[in-house]
Structure 1
Amino acid sequence: MKILDDVEIVDNLPAIYIKSLNAIVIGDLHLGFEGIAAEQGVFIPKIQFEEEMEIMNKIIKEKKNEKIILLGDIKHEFSETTYHEFKEVRDFLNFLKANFKQVILIKGNHDNFIFYLTKKLKVELYDDLCIGNYFFSHGHKDIDLKSISAENIIIAHEHPAIALFDEIGGKEIVKCFLIGKVKEKNVIILPAFSSLSYGTEVNIVEEFLSPFLEKIKDKIDDFEAIGIDKDVGILRFGKIKNLPKR
């Protein structure tokens, strides 16, 4: 599904394809989540890595492309990498290198100590990056739009989702893309690639995680939310301001 002339959502998956760059873009993988949770006494079946690999295989099958851009938080732990997390990140990056000519990682706030692994695997690592008419950043830092010549801003970090409510008070969470315009620039916020991370319920949230989104929060109500569900497909929710708050 096209969301801009040059950008489309890949099937009903948490990924976009940029035609002019021949690139797939994803963000917020949070590999190693279950292992870190177990260290904190919360035991979750270790299924995320297999699920993310399955999604990546679907993306590769759907779109033939040269490069993949990871918009940060490929790992979950803030501090030094545990063995379980290291193995998942290493195996995932090796898989990407075997299937893409170019692998680019934009550093997120969880990606401390990732430099040693990316250097060893020859994966490109940036704090943020401008390619063609696109500016890529994880989203955990503010963005000065005046200093960016690119017309398209793409971030992750927020893990946007829509909260849906039924008549008896039940709630369902649907991951979504956010697409809008700020000062004549297109802004796209990606949902989390992680199957265990849903994040910010943008139709009811009072404060955004991203300082950039918090700065432009008066514009967010006019952003369009496009949900993704592996069973239902793509869901066009329309503008956030028209969605129920409760």
Structure 2
Amino acid sequence: MPARRLVEPIPGEPAAVASTGDERILVVADYHAGIEVGLRYERGVELESAADVRLARLEGVLDRTDPDRLLVLGDLVHRIGRPDGDEIDELRALVDRVTDRVPMTLVPGNHDGGVADLGLGADYDFEVVDAAGIRRGPVGFLHGHTWPAADVLRAEVVCVGHEHPSVRLEDEVGGSRVERAWLRGPLDPAAFAGHVDGVGGDGDGDGNNGEHGSAETELVVVPAFNDRSGGTWVNVEGQEFLAPFLPDALPDGELYLLDGTRLGHYRRV
């Protein structure tokens, strides 16, 4: 594990602050603006929009942390393809309010294919970077739906979204509940062999990756900011992970609830 704690979750929130040296970055994943519209046309589910609630919660986290930047680890919007109608309205309101305070960066996810085409960067301090991820000093960032750039894996800590990690908890009388959770632990470079050039293929069996990261790299899977977006029940047998490199890249991952409670290895909870 890294000697220094570069990514600190915010107690009670599905968000963290990453210290990159030059900036303190507020990191959130899977905001899914417009999800209620999506649930209507995807599943016929009618829910009142929680756009104002989501934005107020995000602004509260900005107040609490006073970062230099907001970085979204993909799936800023819900529609796969170009956002439309109410989705665009929520997206514009979000970007307008956030960038009035701090710059905003989106590492696009599989739901963000049309965001760059909206040209929001012309009106706001808003950038969309490459889907293979970016590195800022000792911290790498990507959504997780595709294989990352090699430079991202050189970081001391790599933050990903996409998975919406959740844990199913049971009590003594058979009751259960599902809670969003953090999943973090040493990154295994071997999971990227054959998919990311120069990574995981040194062949000496020590887990070391040479120049392109090592067994000392930490992988942090960030819970979804949107509490209506579902998730992977990572401690339930038969649940398939979404990211192409999970669970192989995180064989010793541990679960933490949003309040900071450590639950231990995700397969033994």
Q: Give the TM-score of the pair, scaled to structure 1.
A: 0.87
- In structure 2, the residue matched to 1:236 is 262
Q: 2:235 aligned to 203, 217, 225, which one?
A: 203
Distance in 1, matches of 2:168 and 2:76, equals 25
Distance in 1, matches of 2:152 and 2:104, equals 26
What's the CA shift string for 1:31-78, capped at 9, x where partnerless? 11111222342101212x122112212212211121111111011011
Distance in 2, matches of 1:108 and 1:4, equals 28
Runs of 4+ in 1 over 4 A off after TM superposition: 144-147
Does residue 56 of the first structure (1) align with residue 53 of the second (2)?
Answer: no
CA RMSD, 1 decimal: 2.0
From the superposition, tell whether residues 119 and 225 of structure 1 become closer, same or farther in structure 2 (CA, over 3 Å): same
Q: Secondary structure at the match of 1:234?
A: coil
Matches within 5 A, 1:11-160: 11-19=11-19, 20=21, 21-40=23-42, 41-47=44-50, 49-100=51-102, 102-117=103-118, 118-122=120-124, 123-126=126-129, 127=131, 128-143=133-148, 148-160=153-165
From the superposition, tell whether residues 5 and 159 of structure 1 become closer, same or farther in structure 2 (CA, over 3 Å): same
- In structure 1, the residue matched to 2:8 is 8
Which structure has the bigger radius of gyration?
A: 2
Structure 2 segments unaligned to the other structure (5+ residues): 188-214
Contact 1:140 1:210 survives alignment (8 Å)? yes
Higher helix residue share: 1
Kindly, what percent of the aligned residue pairs are identical? 27
- Partner AA of 2:263 in structure 1: F
Q: Secondary structure at the match of 1:242?
A: coil
Q: Secondary structure at the match of 1:188?
A: strand
After TM superposition, give the deviation of residue 4 of structure 1 in Å: 5.4
What's the CA shift string for 1:71-90, capped at 9, x where partnerless? 11011011221211011011
Distance in 1, matches of 2:38 and 2:149, equals 34
Aligned residues: 232
From the superposition, tell whether residues 184 and 209 of structure 1 become closer, same or farther in structure 2 (CA, over 3 Å): same
Does residue 186 of the first structure (1) align with residue 186 of the second (2)?
Answer: no
- Partner AA of 1:119 in structure 2: G
Higher strand residue share: 1
From the superposition, tell whether residues 136 and 205 of structure 1 become closer, same or farther in structure 2 (CA, over 3 Å): farther
Distance in 2, matches of 1:86 and 1:120, equals 16
After TM superposition, give the deviation of residue 144 of structure 1 in Å: 6.4
After TM superposition, give the deviation of residue 146 of structure 1 in Å: 8.2
Distance in 2, matches of 1:67 and 1:195, equals 23
Q: Give the TM-score of the pair, scaled to structure 2.
A: 0.80
Q: Secondary structure at the match of 1:99?
A: coil
- In structure 2, the residue matched to 1:213 is 246
Contact 2:143 2:162 survives alignment (8 Å)? yes
Contact 1:28 1:193 survives alignment (8 Å)? yes
After TM superposition, give the deviation of residue 145 of structure 1 in Å: 5.8
Structure 1 segments unaligned to the other structure (5+ residues): none
Contact 2:18 2:139 survives alignment (8 Å)? no
